[in-house]
Amino acid sequence: MSILGTRVLRTEDPRFLTSGGVYTDDVVDERLAGACQVFFVRSPIAHARIRAVDVTAALSAPGVVAAFTAADLDDLPAIPPMMPGLMNDHMTRGVLASGKVRHVGEPVAVVVTEQAYQGEDAMELVEVDYDPLPAVVDLAAAASDEVLLFEEAGTNIAANFGDASTLDDHLFDGCEVVTARRIVNQRVAPAPMETRAAAAAWGEDGRLTAWIPNQGAQGTRSGLALLLGLPEEQVRIITPDVGGAFGAKFGADPEHAVVAWVARRLGRPARWSETRYENLIAMTHGRAQQQTVTIGGRRDGTVLAYRLEIVQDAGSYPRIGAMLPYLTIMMTPGPYAIGQAEAVARSVVTTTTPVGAYRGAGRPEATAAVERAIDLFAAEIGMDPADVRRRNLLPPFTEPHRTAFGALYDTGDYATALDKVLAAAGYQDLRREQAERRARGDVIALGIGLSSYVEITGMGDGGPQAPEENATVEVHPDGTATILTGTSPHGQGHATAWAMLASEELGIPVDKITLKWGDTDLVPQGGGTGGSRSLQHGGSAVRQAAQELIEVARQRAAAELEASPADLRFDVERSTFAVAGDPDASVPLTRLAEEERLLVRTVFSAPGATFPFGSHLAVVEVDTETGKVVLRRVVTVDDAGFVLNPLLAEGQRHGGIAQGAAQAFLEEVVYDGDGNPLTASFADYPFLSATEVPSFELADMQTLTSYNPLGVKGIGEAGTIGATPAVQNAVVDALAHLGVRHIDMPASPQRVWQAIQAAAGSGAGGSSTGSENA
């Protein structure tokens, strides 16, 4: 019986449960003996000129080894914006701020000490003379260019995606109903449980070894080499266990480069581990889009036209966040057949923490926009939102479907996913209960929210190159096997899943197969883990390598057994080659590794990205007197093709659903008008806890893709894409009978209560509340 598709427990768990994972801060290595500790002095002001930085007092504090400012690090190159050419080229930065600071938390100086507590003390003694400038937090104010972050750029606009002046004035001609709304997809914090960290040591050969929690050591090597102005061969990245990433640990950050620089300058290893306060103000944030949706159609429920206009808050320096609209626009129409649709976007810089990738990165924003728009349209014409969805979903297709926005959907059956989730949730019963509560004037209103989604997983490099990943499989004489992968697990369970794939081909038990990754000397190439790419590319590569290894072994077995390779059968159950018709003439696979190493490295290449899809249904109770939202149920259908290990796939769905729901009704990074972060600790940032979510209800659906032999698509981001609009729609739905049409996320008690009051005041004419500023 095949092991594929079965519930295999994780081989990595015993270690995590007993001695605990070995995260960067836990690494004990002789190369790091005697390491000094690096501490960053960060700006407490959002926008200011730096007049002077004085480290004199800090230098005389106990345990201080050194202190540096930007002037000391002038041998490091300026950091260009991501995607120069597309982004405004003048929006550069240094690894430490020089001249200006542009967000609270930007590093200005470093203090290096013998011990950690000494650094905490000495940092207080660094004196920075700031000349404050007006903060730029509001996106409209940023776009007005009244206060510039980069004078040399002449504008705060980092990038444009499309041209707003070319929007079609006649897009909604012929629509019986048109409704528009500005909605906020608020800024949230990825907040992996392990914060950022680094450890760096230089060898006598002038080569850097850096331990950095990351999502792909090879990309981190490239990033760090660029920051340090070094050739890549001079940098080795080692990836310890990584305590969560969620998109925010790709590449290398300025702090990582500073730690390496300090180690070189002082001639001794250096380490850094950020505090949660630093993490919440200096690790990239996610989302941060202001959207205007306009949707029009006929009163029979047919959507005819849809427009999405986006202002992306890039934060102070254009990074991946400034690029998010590219993906959002690509997914504009979602799973719907909309006759006419258009989208434009611009990214602006603000005096806030830079925005980057966060679980879904651009696709959740697209789904949130269109799913809110569908519900607005349904409310406008007085039709059940499930019916409006069913009427407009693309019909099932097995040949790729090209959208007007350039996406090529591989396979899809969206209406079936919707019908499955409605059936699993008992949709009609829920509607009946809702009607009963409304009829009796229950102060606890019941809300039912839907979302249908399609998303992109396993993209290539965005260029002409097909997405690919490499794997090496080696069988050892002692009956074990080793896999090298270019993916980079940080909770996803690759050690188990990749072992299952190899075991299926080699007949070697899962617990005898070891996975290695994340050391660039061991695995020089790789795309890492992100964008839900790992199984479809990395897993496919492992399977392919194992199959190719069997063919290599077949040649050796043929020589050993003096038979024709074509006459040999590989018995996976026994992991043995045997001559057909002569079972006594056989040789075990592992023996074929005795005289010569038995290994294969291969590259799997996919024809393109895959497009998983699904439907989510959320049930909330809203206290109409206090505005408090309680999430009662989340029921989901997430179709990501074949499920290799239900245990792991369900875990990915659970985590994503929770993070998605958290954005809908809890989490938000908040700045005041002066650019001060008000959510810079876990005491202030409303991080989701166990009491705020129910257990989740998952329904199964598997529509295979032809883009890889496993038939798999990505599952890692389904939850944040589907759950967020489902929960938001549920909150609005709960209050629809009171005239509420929209509530911006997060649906906090205050915001919900205000929406109820506004609706009552306006006589149920379709009310909404939300922050005006993202």
**Residue 114 lies near other proteins (rule: CB under 8 A):** no
Q: Rounded to an integer, what distance in angstroms lies between the CA atom of residue 381 and that of residue 298?
A: 8
Q: Binding other proteins by CB under 8 A: which of 19, 165, 166, 465?
A: 19
Q: Interface with other proteins by CB under 8 A: which range of 226-234, 274-282, 524-532, 545-553? A: 274-282
Asked if residue 719 binds other proteins (CB under 8 A), the reply is: yes
Cα–Cα distance measured from residue 685 to residue 687, given in angstroms and rounded to the nearest whole number: 6
Give, in degrees to the nearest 5, the angle at Cα 557 between 551 and 563: 110
Nearer to other proteins, 73 or 217 (CB): 217
Cα dihedral 616/617/620/624 (nearest 10): 110
- With CB under 8 A as the contact rule, the residue among 99, 170, 691, 763 that binds other proteins is 691
Stretch that binds other proteins, among 240-248, 295-303, 337-345, 601-609 (CB under 8 A): 240-248
Provide the β-strand partners of residue 485.
471
Taking CB under 8 A as the binding criterion, the range among 74-82, 129-137, 442-450, 514-522 that sits at the site for other proteins is: 514-522
Q: In this structure, what token pair is assigned to residue 459?
A: 């993209």
Residue 18 interacts with other proteins (CB under 8 A): yes or no: yes
Residue 188 in the binding site for other proteins (CB under 8 A): no
- The answer to whether 636 contacts other proteins (rule: CB under 8 A) is no
Q: Does 425 bind other proteins (CB under 8 A)?
A: no
Span 535-594, contacts to other proteins by CB under 8 A: none
Tokens of 726: 């489902």
When binding is defined by CB under 8 A, the residue of 6, 20, 71, 395 that contacts other proteins is 20
Asked if 499 contacts 12 with a C-beta cutoff of 8 angstroms, the reply is no
Q: Which of 6, 14, 75, 555 is the binder for other proteins (CB under 8 A)?
A: 14
Residues from 662 through 681 that contact other proteins (CB under 8 A) = 681
We find the least distance from the C-beta atom of residue 240 to other proteins, in angstroms, to be 5
Q: Interface with other proteins includes 490 (CB under 8 A)?
A: yes
Among 165, 166, 465, 689, contact with other proteins (rule: CB under 8 A): 689
User: Residues 682, 702, 737, 757: which binds other proteins (CB under 8 A)?
Assistant: 682
With contact defined as beta carbons under 8 Å apart, do 67 and 40 qualify? no
Q: Residue 766, by phi and psi: left (phi above 0), alpha (psi -120 to 50) or beta? A: left
Please report whether residue 78 would count as binding other proteins according to CB under 8 A: no
Indicate which single residue of 239, 290, 411, 703 sits in contact with other proteins (rule: CB under 8 A): 239
Part in contact with other proteins (CB under 8 A); list of ranges 64-72, 295-303, 511-519, 739-747: 511-519
Q: Tell whether residue 192 is a contact of other proteins (CB under 8 A).
A: yes
How much of the chain is in helix, strand and coil states, percent to nearest 5?
Answer: 30, 25, 40
Asked if 735 is part of the footprint of other proteins (rule: CB under 8 A), the reply reads no
Residue 451 dihedral angles phi and psi, to the nearest 5°: -150, 145
Contact flag: residue 13 with other proteins (CB under 8 A): yes
End-to-end Cα distance, the chain? 53
Strands 64-69 and 468-475: unpaired
Least CB distance to other proteins at residue 211 (A)? 7
Q: Which is nearer to other proteins, 140 or 678 (CB)?
A: 678
Helices within 718-770 (DSSP H only): 718-734, 749-761
How many residues line the site for other proteins (CB under 8 A)? 68
Q: Which residue has the tokens 């009704």?
A: 665
Q: Is the peptide bond before 746 cis (omega within 30 degrees of 0)?
A: yes
- HEC string of 430-473 equals HHHHHHHHHHCCCCEEEEEEEEEEECCECCCCCCCCCCEEEEEE
Least distance from C-beta 276 to other proteins, angstroms?
A: 4
What residue has token string 């972060």? 677
Angle at 469 between CA 464 and CA 470, to 5 degrees: 135
Amino acid identity of 632? R
Residue 361: Cβ within 10 Å count: 26
Identify the CA nearest to 561 among candidates 546, 574, 548, 576: 576
- The minimum distance between CB 10 and other proteins, in angstroms, equals 7
State which residue, 309 or 621, has the beta carbon closest to other proteins.
Answer: 621
Q: Which of 275, 302, 482, 754 binds other proteins (CB under 8 A)?
A: 275
Work out how close the CB of 242 gets to other proteins at its nearest, in angstroms, rounded to a whole number: 7
DSSP H/E element including 704? none
Residue 648 engages other proteins in binding (rule: CB under 8 A): yes
DSSP 750: H
* Nearer residue to other proteins within complex by CB, 244 or 749: 244
8 Å CB contact between 250 and 530: yes
Among 215, 434, 470, 492, binds other proteins (CB under 8 A): 492
Q: Which of 26, 54, 72, 138: binder of other proteins (CB under 8 A)?
A: 26
111 binds other proteins (CB under 8 A): no
> Of 7-15, 61-69, 604-612, 621-629, which segment contacts other proteins by CB under 8 A?
7-15
Region class of 493: left (phi > 0), else alpha (psi between -120 and 50), else beta: left
Pick the closer one to other proteins by CB: 117 or 397: 117
The helix or strand, by DSSP H or E, that contains position 345, with its residue range, turns out to be strand 340-349
Query: If we measure between CA atoms, which residue out of 111, 115, 2, 140 comes closest to residue 63?
Result: 115
> By C-beta, is 442 or 650 nearer to other proteins?
650
- Residue 116 binds other proteins, judged by CB under 8 A: yes
**Does 211 contact other proteins by CB under 8 A?**
yes
> Binding segment for other proteins among 243-251, 263-271, 411-419, 568-576 (CB under 8 A)?
243-251
Query: Rounded to an integer, what distance in angstroms lies between the CA atom of residue 676 and that of residue 354?
Result: 14
| CB burial of residue 707 (10 Å; 0-12, 13-18, 19+) | buried
> Shortest distance, CB of residue 446 to other proteins, whole angstroms?
20
Is 411 among the residues that bind other proteins (CB under 8 A)? no
Closest CB to other proteins among 358 and 671? 358
Q: How far is the CB of 115 from other proteins (least distance, A)?
A: 9
Smallest gap, in angstroms, from Cβ of residue 194 to other proteins? Answer: 5
**Tokens matching residue 598:** 């038995």
Strand order in the sheet with 576-579: 568-571, 576-579, 582-588
What pairs with residue 471 in β-bridges? 485, 602
Interaction of residue 22 with other proteins, rule CB under 8 A: yes
- Binding residues for other proteins (CB under 8 A): 9-10, 12-23, 25-29, 116-117, 191-195, 211, 238-244, 246, 275-277, 490-493, 516-519, 647-648, 650-651, 654-659, 681-683, 687-691, 693, 695-696, 719
